[in-house]
Amino acid sequence: MDINFFEKISGNIKYNEPMSAHTTFRIGGAADVFADVSSADEIRALINVCRENKYPYMIVGNGSNLLVSDNGIRGLVIHIGKNMSGVRAEGERIYAEAGALMSAAAAACLENGLTGFEPMSGIPGTIGGGVFMNAGAYGGEMSQVIETVTYLDKTGEIITEECEKLGLGYRKSKFQNGGYVILSCVLKLKSGDKNEIKAAMADYRARRNAKQPVTMPSAGSAFKRPEGYFAGKLIQDAGLRGFRIGGAQISELHSGFIVNTGGAAAVDVDALIRHTQKTVYDKFGVALEPEIRRVGDW
């Protein structure tokens, strides 16, 4: 198909866009076409064109848990970001578009004296990504505060569903089955004391800054928590703390993180993930499942 056709649908089209600029790992080759979308109608129109022409596409947000191939991404990347990032409070609810950062939702909670979102306040992703992964931290997760999610279904219809119907579990949701596009969500919180909310957010931020490599490019926790274990402790006990392949390294601060020490390639990270999985399994018989999503042309 003539990829220039996308310009008739969206005014924010780029070609050969480096995905290293759109992932927190700062890694990834170029996407053939990149659209920074502004509305559900625009997303639907882009997807319809892709489907009609059997042209591949994928949805990305802040790229905070993505490992994009060095070869880039074939097809269209639909980026839900700053152009769909509205956040507003009404009573005890926060209405947030999918492209809003989790930190923006946290700021709205604090400003309006709403409690319940504090554990997630420092997660470096978008609301859409948070719903997609049922993101969580410090014992809290999105499923505890989501009331409804509005999304495009596989036919292009806009659906709003309650939390109980979204298949939310540990780092999973029904949206991971493919064909859906998260547009927005409503968070149901409780009225609280602003000073207590501020103190709790500051405490979580201080704990995160002290124990996680927040100053280095990463994709957050590299592995899901195995039942009965902590991934970081298993990796450290396996002797892998600080171990590196190319520019990718098991963080010396927290062994559950893989960091880009500068100039890391996706193949470095991929090799380090596999080496870590094999080493931990050989030593402890525990299979580590990556939390990082591997995407693109591998």
Active centre residues (catalytic):
171, 221, 291
- Residues 128, 61: contact at Cβ < 8 Å? yes
The one-letter amino acid at 256? G
* Cα 207 to Cα 201: distance, rounded to the nearest angstrom: 10
Beta-bridge mates of residue 90: 93
Half-sphere exposure of 277 (CA within 13 A, CB side): 14
**C-beta separation of 216 from 251 below 8 A:** yes
- Tokens coding 293: 């999503």
- Mind giving me the DSSP string for 205-254? HHHHHHHS-TTS-EEEESBPPPTTS-HHHHHHHTT-TT-EETTEEE-SS-
Q: Please state the separation of Cα 173 from the chain's center in Å.
A: 13
Residue 169: strand pairing partners: 172
CA distance 74 to 203: 42
Q: Rounded distance, CA 104 to CA 75, Å?
A: 30
Residue 75 parent element (H or E): strand 73-79
Tokens of 118: 């504090």
CA atoms within 13 A on the CB side of 249: 15
Taking CA 213 as the corner, what is the angle to CA 200 and CA 171, rounded to the nearest 5 degrees? 70
Query: What gap in Å lies between CA 200 and CA 189, rounded to an integer?
Result: 15
